Amino acid sequence: MEKMVPTFEVTNLSKVYGKCEQTKVKALKELSFKIMPGEFTAIVGPSGSGKSTLLNIMSGLDYPSEGMVHLAGQDISHMSGNELSDYRRDHIGFVFQAYNLIPVLTVKENVEYILQLQAVNANQRKKRVAQILEEVGLAGFEKRFPMEISGGQKQRVAVARAIVSNPDIVLADEPTANLDSKTGVELVAMMSKLNETHGTTFIFSTHDPTIMERSKRLIVLKDGQIVKDQ
Partner 1 sequence: MLLIKLGLRNILRNKRRTILAALAISLGLTSLILTDGIMIGMSQSLVRLVTSSFLGHAQINAKNYRDAFEVDKSINNLAATTASLNNEKTIQSFALRTQTLAMLSSASNVSNIVLFGIQKEKEMGISMIKQSLLQGSLENLSDQGVIIGDQLAQKMEIGLGEKLIVTVAQVGTGELSQEMFKVEGIFSFNAKEMDRGIAFISLSSSQRLLNINNRVHSIILKFKNILDSSNLKSPFWKKYSAGGNEALSWRQISPGIDSMIEMGKYSTAIIAAILFLIVVLGIMNTIFMSLHERTFEFGVMRAIGSRPGKIILLILTETSLLGIFSIVIGVIFSLFSGKLLSMYGLDYTGIELGGVTMQEPLYFVYETSQFIIYPICIYFFTLISGIYPSIHAAKITLVDAMKKSL
Ligand X SMILES: Nc1ncnc2c1ncn2[C@@H]1O[C@H](COP(=O)(O)OP(=O)(O)OP(=O)(O)O)[C@@H](O)[C@H]1O
Least distance to partner 1 from the beta carbon of 98, Å? 5
By the rule CB under 6 A, 22 interacts with ligand X: no
> Which lies closer to Mg ion via its Cβ, residue 52 or residue 155?
52
By the rule CB under 8 A, 98 interacts with partner 1: yes
Query: Using CA of residue 193, residue 104, residue 128, residue 71, what is the dihedral sign?
Result: negative
By the rule CB under 6 A, 37 interacts with ligand X: no
> Which lies closer to ligand X via its Cβ, residue 165 or residue 215?
215
Under 8 Å between Cβ of 115 and 125 = yes
Pick the closest to residue 14 from 50, 54, 66, 86 (CA basis): 66
Least distance to partner 1 from the beta carbon of 154, Å? 12
For residues 47-66, which are near partner 1 according to CB under 8 A?
56, 59, 61-62
Stretch of 47-55, 77-85, 131-139, 212-220 contacting Mg ion, by CB under 5 A: 47-55
By the rule CB under 8 A, 15 interacts with partner 1: no
Least distance to ligand X from the beta carbon of 16, Å? 9
Task: Report what 25 binds from Mg ion, ligand X, partner 1, none; CB cut-off 5-8 Å by kind.
Answer: ligand X
Stretch of 23-31, 102-110, 132-140, 188-196 contacting partner 1, by CB under 8 A: 102-110
Least distance to ligand X from the beta carbon of 43, Å? 8
Within a 10 A sphere around the Cβ of 96, how many other Cβ atoms? 18
Task: Report what 211 binds from ligand X, partner 1, Mg ion, none; CB cut-off 5-8 Å by kind.
Answer: none
Stretch of 50-58, 78-86, 128-136, 209-217 contacting Mg ion, by CB under 5 A: 50-58
Under 8 Å between Cβ of 171 and 205 = no
Stretch of 3-11, 40-48, 106-114, 212-220 contacting ligand X, by CB under 6 A: 40-48
**Can you give the binding site for partner 1, defined by CB under 8 A?**
56, 59, 61-62, 81-82, 85-86, 88-90, 92, 94, 96-105, 113-114, 116-118, 161
